[in-house]
Structure 1
Amino acid sequence: MGTESEEQPHGAAVVADGFGLEGPRGWVFRKVFFRAEPGALVAIEGPSGSGRTCLLLALTGRMKATEGHAEVGGLPLPRKMAAVRRISALGQVPGVNELDPAFTVAEHLHERALLQHRFDGSVRALLRRPGTRAAEARARIEEAVAAAGLDLDALPKGGRTSVRDLERLEALRLSIALALIGRPRLLAVDDTDLKLSDAARAEVWTLLRSLTASGTTVLAVCSEAPEDALRITTVAGPAEETADPAVSETPGAPEAPGAPGAPETPETSDRPKATDPEDAAEAPRADTDTDAGTTASTTEEGAADALAETGRS
């Protein structure tokens, strides 16, 4: 097991081939094609309500796609959703894993470290002496906080600062630190540029680039992607058959197989309310060179229905 992880790159390659999610009344997103190497920065760009968060959740194994397929670290979606969840982590996604405003920063970090140790640790780790486990938890927290650029000493009350008292940028850094405690191969961050000044947005992208430099693959939802990111563009509103597809746009990036993909469709209130659907063992796996088909119309109601159906097992 250890040998296998050493042979693999830390980051997870992500491939989408005609990836789509349909609800009873319309498409949430459809015909998404792109290929990202391990350690890539992938920006899911589009306006609020264009399916950005749903695509983020589907690519991290939290929502079940209904068309095409994707692979994360060689694990096929939607057939291996649980396995993808084990190698990926979410930053804060409202309605899914929000920060508790009553908790302090230190309480959030300590709780996440305990959960990580309890559910992801080996049997041997669970049998270690309490002092050793506590030291390991502190080391993980310090590593994650440093990687996220969260300066606890600069907070009003240090680690005892309540989440409700954090600035937007500080809260975003905390959510990233919490995700990094699990040392994921794929990190997904929602609303990277929401309610941030231009200077703060630049700080966020610098942070995400530093994470990719260390080998972690990053998926980031945003309204405007930086030029050096692998850009996946989503489109709000009903899709027309002649509309531009959702495609990857990055200098030097390989073109998507079959070239075209269709625009993605709206989310409802931009947020799902639950996660972790059951894996679909019977889901077919598409070939990597599937051609794009005709684009269907999409609706806000379709996104809502898809979220309701796939959100809770």
Structure 2
Amino acid sequence: MTGVGVTARGLGLEGPRGWAFRGVSFEAGPGSLIAVEGASGSGRTCLLLALTGRMRPTEGLAAVGGAALPKHMGAVRRLSGLAHVPGVTDLDPALTVAEHLHERALLQRRFGGSLRGLLRPRAERVAEERLRVDAALEAAGLDRDALPKGSRTAVRDLERVEALRLSVALALIGRPRLLGVDDTDLKLADAERAEVWALLRSVAEAGTTVMAVCSEAPEDAVVVSTASEGVTTDALTEAGRA
């Protein structure tokens, strides 16, 4: 999958209680690893959602793969995917890994495919879905056979990094050109953080542009900071989502 370039010029989002983020400017080429760095509550998630077409910016301009924001939010949503975003991509702790993968494959078939694809013989559709799932799991580095109960392992029994890998795999089933990942280093040990960054780096190196929210960015990433004067720490929860 070919990634997309992402640019922003003076981008900002204001909610009822103030600015979630403001004055964000950067440029990143296709296949970049972009780190949205800042303290919790600094508008990191709002920026991630804005640049993936899920929240409408208040000021400034941005473009994702040539699609301008906020004018073409729908187009940006179609070429981007989200993983590990609280309140948006939450995994059901009672469902198994297999159930999550099957559900996402069905949704992809129903809403992400073409009419021609829907009219293909069932055997072909099933084979295509299996290939998509296997490729997404491989890219996310999630080995089902290594899990306690294989594909029948419930999400509640996954380790934190395993759950993040599953969330990334689910997003990759849709073959996004821009992958947004929230809270990449939340409650992780140093070794686990390094493991997650290695995963995201490998996804970017394979061609997909990756934008990841973090408290501390790796040296090889395009760093975008949400630290700005006049930004309120509680604006994140007050700003409306598109």
Report the TM-score when normalising by structure 2: 0.97
Q: Does 1:59 align with 2:51?
A: yes
Between the aligned partners of 2:222 and 2:184, the Cα distance in structure 1 is 15
CA distance in 1, matches of 2:20, 2:185: 22
Aligned Cα root-mean-square deviation (Å): 1.2
1:98 equivalent in alignment to 2:90: yes
Match of 1:299 among 204, 208, 232: 232
Alignment-mate amino acid for residue 120 of structure 1: G
Q: Tell me the amino acid that sits aligned with residue 163 of structure 1.
A: V
Q: Which of 14, 18, 23 is the equivalent residue of 1:22? A: 14
Distance in 2, matches of 1:117 and 1:58, equals 26
1:110 is aligned to 102
SS in 1 for 2:231: coil
* 8 A Cα contact 1:91 1:175, kept in partner: yes
Q: Which runs of 4+ in 1 moved over 6 A?
A: none
Residue 72 in 1 paired to residue 64 in 2?
Answer: yes
CA contact (8 A) 2:43 2:233 kept: no
Query: How many angstroms apart in 2 are the aligned matches of 1:98 and 1:33?
Result: 29
1:26/1:303 contact within 8 Å kept: no
Partner SS state of residue 103, structure 1: coil
Residues 1:120 and 2:120 aligned together: no
- Give TM-score, length-normalised by structure 1: 0.75
Identity %: 67
1:43/1:232 contact within 8 Å kept? yes
Greater share of residues in helix: 2
Larger relative contact order (CA 8 Å, sep ≥ 6): 2
Structure 1 residues 199 and 24: alpha-carbon distance in aligned structure 2, compared to 1, 3 A threshold: same
**Residue 299 of structure 1, CA deviation:** 2.5
Match of 2:202 among 210, 215, 234: 210
Is the 2:24–2:226 contact (alpha carbons within 8 Å) kept by the matching residues of 1? no
Q: Cα offset for 1:303?
A: 3.5
Cα 1:168–1:301 shift into 2, 3 Å? closer
TM-fit CA distance, 1:311? 1.9
Contact 2:32 2:209 in 1 (8 A): yes
SS for the counterpart of 2:185 is coil
Other-structure match for 1:292: none
- Segments of structure 1 that go 5 or more residues without pairing to the other structure are 1-8, 236-262, 264-294
Other-structure match for 2:213:
221
Q: Which residue of 1 aligns with 2:127?
A: 135
Q: How far off its partner does 1:301 sit?
A: 4.6
The 5 A counterparts of 1:145-164 are 145-164=137-156
* Matching of residue 311 in structure 1 with residue 232 in structure 2: no
Amino acid at match of 1:150: L
Matched, 1:233 2:225: yes
The 5 A counterparts of 1:154-303 are 154-235=146-227, 263=228, 297-303=230-236
Could you say what secondary structure the match of 1:63 adopts? coil
Tell me the SS of whatever aligns to 1:43: strand
Partners in 1 of 2:234 and 2:40 — Cα distance? 15
Once the two structures are TM-superposed, the CA of residue 65 in structure 1 deviates from its matched residue by 0.4
Partner of 1:38: 30
SS at match of 1:107: helix
Q: CA deviation at 1:50?
A: 0.8
- Contact 1:187–1:218 under 8 Å retained in 2: yes
Equivalent-residue separation in structure 1 for 2:53 and 2:132 (angstroms)? 24
- Bigger share in strand: 2
Distance 1:22 1:43, change over 3 A: same
Code of the residue aligned with 1:147 in structure 2: it is A
Mapped to 2, the partners of 1:302 and 1:120 lie a distance apart of 33
Structure number, greater radius of gyration: 1
Corresponding residue SS for 2:77:
helix
Q: 1:75-123: CA deviations, max 9, x gaps?
A: 0001111100000000021111201111100110111011111111111
Q: CA deviation at 1:298?
A: 3.0
